[in-house]
């Protein structure tokens, strides 16, 4: 049982600093013209670069984990949370099976919930 917890990956990564979507009212904000530059890509991660991320280094004596800029991470990292899209390959295909399984699981959950009421 201990080995399971020792090898478990961390579930939640949180930043120690708070980032604002826009500048607070006390700071002067530069007016924008409505056009965006090609070099200014929107931020993909929620952590500011060079932020120490707590809870990731759970091994004793490990150096603190520091967030990197978005362009230093691999491109596939930003597609992990995107839902899977199955091609519609007709009746009996992969997409139909996945949808049917999802509906059956939800139906079973609903029935089990109603049994507790």
Q: Residue 84: how many CB atoms within 10 A of its CB?
A: 6
How confident is the prediction for the chain on average, in pLDDT?
A: 77
Q: What is the pLDDT of residue 36?
A: 47
In the chain, how many H helices and how many E strands? 2, 3
pLDDT band at 44 (very low <50, low <70, confident <90, very high): confident
Whole-model pTM over 0.95 = no
Sheet bearing 65-66, strands edge to edge: 14-15, 52-54, 65-66
Q: Would residue 92 be called left, alpha or beta, if left means φ above 0 and alpha means ψ between -120 and 50 degrees?
A: left
Length of the chain: 117
Structural domain boundaries in the chain: 44-74, 83-117
Distance CA 70, CA 78 (A): 9
């Amino acid at each position: 049982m201990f080995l399971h917890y020792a090898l478990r990956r961390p579930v939640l990564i949180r930043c120690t600093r708070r980032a604002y979507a826009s500048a607070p009212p006390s700071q002067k904000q530069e007016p924008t013209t409505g056009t965006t530059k090609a070099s200014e890509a929107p931020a993909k991660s929620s952590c500011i670069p060079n932020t120490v991320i707590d809870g990731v280094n759970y091994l004793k004596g490990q150096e603190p984990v520091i967030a990197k800029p978005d362009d230093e991470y691999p491109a596939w990292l930003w597609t992990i949370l995107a839902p899977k899209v199955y091609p519609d390959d007709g009746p009996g295909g992969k997409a139909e099976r996945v949808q049917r399984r999802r509906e059956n699981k939800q139906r079973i959950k609903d029935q089990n919930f109603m049994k507790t009421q």
